[in-house]
Structure 1
Amino acid sequence: MSTDELKLPAERLRWVCDPEQFDFATTADLPELEGTLGQIRALASIDFGLGIRESGFNLFLAGEPGTGRTSTIKNILKKRAKTEPTPSDWVYVNNFKSPDLPIALALPAGQGAELEEEMQELISNVRTIIPKALDSKEYEANKAAIVEEYQEKNNELFGGLEGEAQGKGFALQRTVSGLVMVPQKEERNYTQEEYEALSAEEREKLDATGQELTEKLNDVLRQVRENEKGTKDALAQLDRDLGLAAVGHHIDPLREKYGANPQVVEFLDAVQEDIILNLEDFKPQQQVPSPIPGLKLPRQEPSFERYQVNVFVDNHGCEGVPVVFEPNPTYNNLFGRLEHVMQMGGVATTNFTLIKPGALHKANGGYLIIDAREVLINPFSWDALKRCIRNAEIKIEDPLEQYRFITIASMKPEPIPLQSKIIMIGSPWIYYLLFHLEPDYRKFFKVKADFDSRIARTPEVLKDYALFVATHCKNEKLLPFDRSGVAALVEYAARLVEDQGKLSSQFMEISDLIREASFWAGKEENGAATRAHVTRAIEQKTYRSNRIEERMQELFDEGTILVDTAGEMVGQINGLSVITLADHTFGRPSRVTARVWLGRAGMVNIEREVKLSGPIHDKGVLILTGYLGGKFAHDKPLSFSASICFEQNYEGVEGDSASSTELYCLLSAFSGVPIRQGIAVTGSVNQHGMIQPIGGVNFKIEGFFEVCKAKGLTGEQGVLIPKSNERHLMLNDEVVEAVRAGRFHIWSVETIDEGIGILTGVPAGQLQEDGTYPEGSINYRVDQRLREMLESMKKFAVGGEKEERKELPPPADGGAAP
């Protein structure tokens, strides 16, 4: 194939979007984009993951940032959530039996706030009714009647005992040790002398009578205690009846309303019982006397927080199920927390009203979206999330409790059942890291939705791109784009992925370009952004980032970095490389040289010897030996020494895209045929001499073009690329116009033989039936040079061996020399 046939015409150097295919004047005429642009595989995975309800089928959305992962799932869930039933409210209430174990109650959506309001109203009414009831005449009369009855019974008992005692010469008297029976004489107590003056018979009779009366006194006291207990029970029943009368008609309607929920009814019963048992709390409190004169202490009011309802999750007003995106998934933000209140003396206290929900509680029954990286870097979050999924419940705990030396008493709220679909968003690297290093990951996140960074270019996708631009402009109130502006954006999307048949789905960059083009259109007071504004936005974006590129271009112009763009040279060629500095990528040429000489060292990669090359580059160099062996060692062994070097390279080399370049240079050094210095080369090669595709082809071509333009375009310059890279060409307008004008050329080749013919102007030559190459061809010259080197090595080897044998000293033991 001739050199001209391998040249690419300007029409094949980029794909141009025809603006006439769009049927709108500006994007202001278009509706908003519904759904997602491309990503058919990811959408199918999401649909499956959201549809299946079995445990463990949570989703991981994998893809590069800017591919629309977050916006896509939010839009899908926004529509899907409306079609699903609203989940229950959750409230925490006091556990009257164990206050440190608050009870969680589930209520239909909206009833949580209703119950809270109704309990507040209940306590407010009770605090008004009970004091009035306690101060009522009826209550006081009933209380007085009970006390009076008690006193009457006691008086009757003591009256009868006293009468009997008097009749027997005894009197009932109160002492420090209690009530006792004392013998009397003439209405006074016996003195000790009088008692001792009695005869033994009289004393014995007196003691027996006293013992009898004392036993009856004990019986009376026992009866009094029983009366007292009965009185207390009567007073308690009076209070209970009062409490029931005051509270019952307020709680009964609530029991009826929440009758279908046994847990709520049980809570209402507990509230009623606690109110009845603590009626004194509802009485007006007295002012506490101050221990310091002049200091007025605040009145101690009893707390009625124990009757409140903590509305933990309120789904009132939620249309369908909740969709929660938690941007900062710390432990407390995900799983809730127990807040504390500082009291006097620095003591922190808490109660069930200070239990606060986390994102997982708010999303319960719906969907939770979290960033995988943020979950992994926040302490305790990932492990706690796994426990929640495994146990199907959300438990509020103190994550630092296990690290304390002393256990601190705290509340342990009742766990809430988990019924949420969890969606993690992360890069492919994090996905594979979790998949291989986290055993539990595969149990809990069984569905992967893979977002691609590129999508196939079809007429439908082009229309969707226009709708995407329209939607973005409307949402951010930007200037609309006309047809030429949309076409330029689409071409830029193809340039981002370096593929004429695909478009970029990294919409973050596309969105930035839309904003910048709108800005420049506004600066010119234009009503719509056009191709010129998109082009200017791209140029300005490049200008803001290409200071290092321009500095390197100056080094080429000054001759500090040696690169020839004209003439011919044996064993010297221009290779191409790509440099990426943060958000800016550009290409630059590098001089590659090769030298060959007699020896058996084989291929010496200078970059490898000084540890400036990576393993992929080293592999590419080693492939060259395989190519030479297969090409020229079919009738003789290879015996040579050669060195290859990237001149003026100090930062290292990686990749195999220069392997064909190095092979061309090596063939020139062996054959002695010079290479045209106006042609730069890129492409990897295999052992059969086939040219393989490489990356960054556009940046490489444009980098060499800039150097040639600075040194002067001669019409003989160009770049040699792999034929398989033709579809990746999306060159800028300046290079395309230079090719169209014949001032620059792009050749695409499939084999080393095609490439060496273009570089030297001499045919490579095909192997003939007799095992030789056509005389004068590149391969013939290389084969002859290798043969000559082999013969020379044989002569030196024979001569060296004879010289060595001649100079060997005789053996020390008199034996024969070797």
Structure 2
Amino acid sequence: MIHALSPHRLYRRCDPQALSFTSTAELEPLTTPLGQARALEAMEFGVEINREGFNLFVLGTPGLGKLQLVKQILAKQGQSRTPLHDWCYVYNFDDPQRPRLLQLPVSMGQTLCSDMKQLVEDLLTAIPAAFQSDEYQRRREEITAKFQQHLEETLHDLGEEARQNRIAMMRTPTGYTLAPMVDDKVISAEEFEQLPKDEQKKIEGNIEAIQKKLQANIRAAPLARRDMSRAVKKLNQEITQFTVEQFIAGMEQQYQDQTNVMEYLSAVKKDAIENAEEFLPNGEPDELEDVDSAEGRALGFHRYRVNVIVDNTGKDRAPVIFEDNPSYQNLVGRIEHVSHMGTLVTDFTLIKAGALHRANGGYLILDASKTLTHMYAWEGLKRSLQSHQVNISSLEEVLSLVSSLSLEPEPMPVDVKVILTGEPMLYYLLKRYDNEFDQLFKVAADFAHRTDRSDENSLLYARLIAALQQRKQLRPLNRDAVARVIEAASRHADDSNKLSLHVDYIDDLLNEADYRASKADCEQITLEHIEQTLEKRNFRLDRMREAYHEQIIRGISMIETTGKVEAQVNGLTVMAVADQAFGSPSRITATARLGHGRVMDIEREVKLGGEIHSKGVMILSAYMANRFAQDKPLPLSATLVFEQSYGGVEGDSATAAELCTLLSAIAHIPLKQSLAVTGSMNQHGQIQAIGGVNEKIEGFYDICEARGLTGDQGVIIPASNQVHLMLRKDIREAVAAERFHIYTADHVDDVMSALADLPMGEANEQGDYPADSVNGKILARIDELQSLHARYRKSGAGERDNDGAKADD
């Protein structure tokens, strides 16, 4: 039989007098996570172990304070996993497309960056000054004078040779011309024609010979000029080398312990010497450059810059990086581009570090869901963990969206502990479907979402409330308010013997209560402020529930709460939308007729029923066959449906109600509509616990209360759900006044008997039930259907039942 619950069993109260304080201001804030000993131990192990693949996945439902606890534990980690360094990208003089990576001691990165900037500015001033020196000018003039002297001597000798052969070599604006002479005077063409033919031929031969020599000299002039230029360039390099070495010598002494920096400075020195003219104004050693002009021109020497991508200056602890937007480029870094004359160009100074670079030697915290939803971010993260290095490449290159030439920076070695946070289902899916996941994330910290509600934990919960209150600098709570928050935590946990560990829920509750205390100009948060907060929060989210219940109260959605009706039961459902959940009654009806033992679930047939709901219908079918058709066929066909349900039905919490509806339809037994039923069942008829019991009871109560309580209305729930009850105050008061009732049941027979207001009946030795019992009426109806079935089979009719199922032979 069903058992009525007394009011004190509908709610577990927290006695404020049991709390040994008057205000949270007296409490020491809780510094360790309540109820998370398992997760805490796993996190400490995962953080401290320094072995490959022992990265950490922190799993738990949202709002448990996972991220806060991770940061709290990491804040205690003093020494970094590996020694910290600064990391810089510099120009690769051998292969500009592959920038070099420099690893430097902490704070040396910015120092090198400043030193290189100063070096360029110094060279832009010193090199032009060196070229203005008297020594340089003298040596340069010697080179140019030597060239000029050689050229003039060559031409002079050729001119003397020509004169001796009675030929004049004259300079013209376009070069040189040759003309015959007589008596050391140039003659005209007419005078030349008057000379004897033999003499003309001789002069022409001489002119031709001199012409060839002149052309040879003219052709040799560029080569001589080239030699002169080489000599000048060599001189420039010597002067530049002397100047550069003067400035770089100090840097080499400063960085003598850094092999990679020494190699880089050597390459810088070589490049500066080879390109000395770039340090001169207009590329020529004509005039001295002032300091301001040098600083301006220094901005153009990109290749001598140092791009510090990781600067650990002033850091003596392991870096802890939380990347809230874990895109591919935010994780592995990116190469930016700038527009130049309509074309996107880049260089090593536009390389930007990613979270993996910044977390090197420390810890990187990521949201697993966000990481997986960003294109290629998950693959990029795994690749870096597997290879122990970060290879910067643009997402466009990965997707082959661009074909332009880009940079290939030298990969950076990394040693980083990655901590992922996410929901349990995501963790299990990754373990199941990602073959590399187990090798990379070998430690799981599983956060509990609730803890036992013991006296000790209640005091610890009060300290947790004090910690939240003091952290947010809220008003202290008196103990009545704390007791009410503890009760609200039990309701949020859906269990009177548990406390919710969703810190965000309590945090939001305290913030709003503090607001209401401030509006009331109170120095403390009191019970009244907590009650107002809970009431207002429900009110803000109550529009959908009110609209749904209004449809029932107006008779649009048909629910009866009085009287008796055959083949009809009030089941209870929970509507859940985002963070709002409310209960509501739903009419379940059934039909039964002559057939061949098939129970049709209409919800399933039209694909509105879920798998678990279909399982429940199959269980009740098995229960009926086991009770009423162990040694004979069950000659009926039946249908079950949730009336006016258009959004799908899932879950097995209505199985007991569906069975009672079906039994009523078979035996034509009217059932009470003043009682609503919730509970799943097994094949033996035992009633099993369901979820959302508080919301379901409150949903049916609200409908009954709106129509007027009659005193015989109530809800039947599984006995095992009694510990989950944390019902509203108005329902407890109605139960105390016997205007509403909460019953528990252990077996479906108890439920059916209560709804039918008839005994189920006990079978005698022959297996017969009393005629006025529920079982007796059902068996009597089955016997009638068997007789009809036999008569139709004898006549050859009815080979198919009314729902189209083929008859079994």
Structure 2 length-normalised TM:
0.84
Greater mean deviation of Cα atoms: 555-564 or 64-73: 555-564
Distance 1:286 1:640 in 2: 105
The aligned counterpart of 2:292 is none
Which of 42, 48, 52 matches 1:51? Answer: 48
Residue 489 (structure 1) aligns with: 485
Whole-Å separation in 1 of the counterparts to 2:663 and 2:711: 25
Q: 1:340 aligns with which of 327, 334, 337?
A: 337
Q: When the two structures are aligned, how many residues end up with a matched partner?
A: 783
Equivalent of 2:136, from 133, 136, 139?
A: 139
Contact 2:329 2:395 in 1 (8 A): no
Note the C-alpha offset of 1:158: 8.7
| 1:314 aligned partner | 311
Q: Which residue of 1 aligns with 2:476?
A: 480
Residue identity (%): 39
State the Cα RMSD in Å. 4.2
Separation of aligned partners in 1, 2:355 and 2:441: 19
Matches within 5 A, 1:155-170: none
Displacement, 1:410? 3.2
Match of 2:577 among 578, 581, 598: 581
Deviation at 1:540, TM superposition (A): 1.1
Shift of 1:683: 0.8
Instruction: Give the whole-Å Cα distance in 2 for the aligned partners of 1:276 and 1:377.
Output: 51
Residue of structure 1 in register with 2:721 after alignment: 725
Are positions 1:421 and 2:417 aligned together?
yes
Residue identity matched to 2:526: T
- State the match for 1:294 in structure 2: none
List per-residue Cα deviations over 1:375-412 (Å, max 9, x = no partner): 33333433433443343332332332476787323333
Residues 264 and 681 of structure 1: is their aligned pair in 2 closer, same or farther, counting only changes over 3 Å?
A: same
Residue equivalent to 2:461: 465
Aligned match of 1:532:
528
Counterpart position of 1:269: 266
Distance 1:792 1:138, change over 3 A: closer
Kindly state the Cα deviation for residue 678 of structure 1 after the two structures are TM-superposed: 2.7
The CA deviation string for residues 767-793 of structure 1, in whole angstroms up to 9 with x for no partner, is: 444434466543344334433443454
Indicate yes or no: 2:374 matched with 1:378. Answer: yes
Over 3 Å counting, the alpha-carbon distance change for 1:197 and 1:371 in structure 2 is same
Q: Does 1:662 align with 2:663?
A: no
Residue in structure 2 matched with residue 812 of structure 1 by the alignment: none
- CA 35–433 in structure 1, closer or farther in 2 if over 3 Å, else same: same
CA distance in 1, matches of 2:445, 2:325: 22
SS of equivalent residue, structure 2 residue 528: helix
Structure 1, 146-155 or 745-754: larger mean CA deviation: 146-155
Kindly report which structure 2 residues correspond to 1:385-400, keeping only aligned pairs within 5 A, or say none. Answer: 385-400=381-396
Give the AA of the match of 2:5: L
CA offset at residue 112 of structure 1? 0.5
Change (3 A) 1:519 1:195: farther
Do 1:520 and 1:533's aligned partners in 2 also have CA atoms closer than 8 Å? yes
Letter in 1 for 2:198: A
Q: Matches of 2:218 and 2:555 in 1, distance apart?
A: 126
Q: Distance in 1 between matches of 2:793 and 2:152?
A: 142
Aligned residues of 1:753 and 1:765 also touching (Cα < 8 A): no
| TM-score for both structures, normalised by structure 1 | 0.83
In structure 2, do the counterparts of structure 1 residues 492 and 167 end up closer, same or farther at CA, with 3 Å as the change threshold? same
Match of 2:291 in 1: none
Aligned partner of residue 80 in structure 1, secondary structure: coil
- In structure 2, what is the equivalent of residue 501 of structure 1? 497
Residue identity matched to 1:197: D
- How much does 1:111 deviate? 0.6
How far apart, CA to CA, are the structure 1 residues paired with 2:401 and 2:606? Answer: 56
> Tell me, what secondary structure is at the counterpart of 1:410?
coil
Residue type of the alignment partner of 1:483: R
**C-alpha separation between the residues in 1 aligned to 2:399 and 2:573?**
54
1:121 shift after superposition: 1.9
Name the residue aligned to 1:280.
277
Question: What is the 5 A alignment of 1:157-236?
Answer: 197=198, 235-236=232-233
Q: Cα distance 1:148–1:550, how it changes in 2: closer, same or farther (>3 A)? A: closer
1:100–1:412 contact (8 Å) kept in structure 2? yes
How many angstroms does 1:585 deviate by?
1.6
- Structure 1 Cα separation of the partners of residues 217 and 185 of structure 2: 25
1:601 Cα deviation after fit? 5.6
Cα 1:185–1:748 change in 2 (3 A) is: same
**Aligned-partner Cα distance in 2 for 1:163–1:610:** 115
> 1:722 Cα shift?
1.0
> Partner letter of residue 404 of structure 2?
I
Alignment of 1:353 onto 2:366: no
Match among 11, 14, 22 for residue 25 of structure 1: 22
Q: Are residues 154 and 46 of structure 1, via their aligned partners in 2, closer, same or farther at CA, if it must alter by over 3 Å?
A: same
- Does residue 303 in structure 1 map to residue 304 in structure 2? no
Superposition map of 1:674-689 within 5 A: 674-689=670-685
Equivalent residue, structure 2, for 1:365: 361
Distance 1:803 1:777 in 2: 31
| Match in the other structure for 1:253 | 250
Q: What does residue 75 of structure 2 align with?
A: 78
Deviations 1:303-352 (A, max 9, x none): 32322212222111234222222222333333333333334x43444332
CA contact (8 A) 2:162 2:169 kept: no
1:626 to 600, 614, 622: 622
Alignment of 1:91-170 (within 5 A): 91-145=88-142
- 2:739 is equivalent to residue 743 of structure 1: yes
Amino acid at match of 1:103: R
Please report how far the alpha carbon of residue 688 of structure 1 lies from its aligned counterpart in structure 2 after TM superposition.
0.8
Structure 2: which 5+ residue stretches go unaligned? Answer: 285-295, 800-809
> Could you tell me which amino acid in structure 1 is paired with residue 246 of structure 2?
H
The Cα offsets for residues 515-536 of structure 1, whole Å up to 9 and x where unpaired, read as 2222222222222222322222
Greater mean alpha carbon deviation, residues 58-67 or residues 513-522: 58-67
Query: C-alpha separation between the residues in 1 aligned to 2:736 and 2:798?
Result: 66
Q: Hey, what's the Cα distance between the residues in 1 that align with 2:458 and 2:557?
A: 44
Equivalent residue, structure 2, for 1:810: none
- Which amino acid counterpart does residue 308 of structure 1 have in structure 2? R
Partners of 1:602 and 1:781 in 2: CA distance: 20
AA aligned opposite 1:267 = Y
For 2:625, give the aligned amino acid: G
Q: Is the partner of 1:731 in helix, strand or coil? A: coil
1:680-699 equivalences under 5 Å are: 680-699=676-695
Partner of 1:42: 39
Deviation at 1:110, TM superposition (A): 0.8
- Say whether the 8 Å CA contact 1:165–1:172 is kept in structure 2: no
Q: Is the 8 A contact 1:364 1:418 kept in 2?
A: yes
Q: Deviations over 1:95-117 (max 9, x none)?
A: 22333332221111111001111
1:755 positional shift: 2.8
Is contact 2:277-2:283 (8 Å) kept? Answer: no
8 A contact 2:675–2:713 mirrored in 1: yes
Pairwise CA distance, 1:803:
14
Q: Is 2:635 the partner of 1:639?
A: yes
Aligned partners of 2:328 and 2:377 also within 8 Å: yes
Cα pair distance change 1:258/1:766, threshold 3 Å: farther
Please tell me whether the aligned partners of residues 84 and 321 of structure 1 are also in contact (alpha carbons under 8 angstroms).
yes
Contact 1:271 1:307 in 2 (8 A): yes
Contact in 1 for aligned 2:552/2:558 (Cα 8 Å):
yes
**Aligned with 1:704 (options 683, 700, 712):** 700
Is the contact made by 1:162 and 1:172 (CA closer than 8 Å) also made in structure 2? no
Greater mean alpha carbon deviation, residues 694-703 or residues 529-538: 529-538
